[in-house]
Amino acid sequence: MLDPAPAGDLPPAILRQTRWFTPNETEASFYAPGSLRVDSPPEVAESLLSLGPEAVVLKLGARGVYLVDRDGLAMQIDRFQVHAVDTTAAGDAFNGAFAAALMLGNPPAESARFAAAAAAISVTRPGAQPSMPTLSEVQEFLKADQK
């Protein structure tokens, strides 16, 4: 998994060896500047996929995330409605939770929803490390969302 934060030059071989490339919109505009339309996450994600990674999770902040991979996965994961206090560590919360969920054997879409929940919780708290939710907090958050 590669979170290109902050955006900077990457050797093409790195991207070709990456399973999940997880830029936010600002980072995505650095890596695929000629093809970006902010209102078209599928276009942006496909452009990033063409750079070599096996899959892309485009983090869209308040608009959720968009997943695409070389096997035909292409889907939007909506955001969770929360009152944001501090977005400092939202991307880190997302990536950590996404990686953990994948490692537990969850499919990418379910992992992305879990990660979006973790990021949503994190933005409701100030700071970086103090804002990171626990596994049980994310599970409870997801249960409450289903009601």
**Per the residue annotation, which of 9, 86, 92, 145 is the catalytic one?**
92
Is position 145 annotated as part of the catalytic site?
A: no
List the structure tokens of 2: 């590669």
Do the strands 55-59 and 20-21 form a parallel or antiparallel pair, or are they unpaired? parallel
Q: Using alpha carbons, select from 117, 15, 106 the residue that is nearest to residue 56.
A: 15
- Tell me the CA end-to-end span of the chain in Å, nearest whole number: 32
User: How many Cβ atoms are within 10 Å of 60's Cβ, its own excluded?
Assistant: 21
Q: Helix, strand, or coil here: 145?
A: helix
**Catalytic site residues?**
92
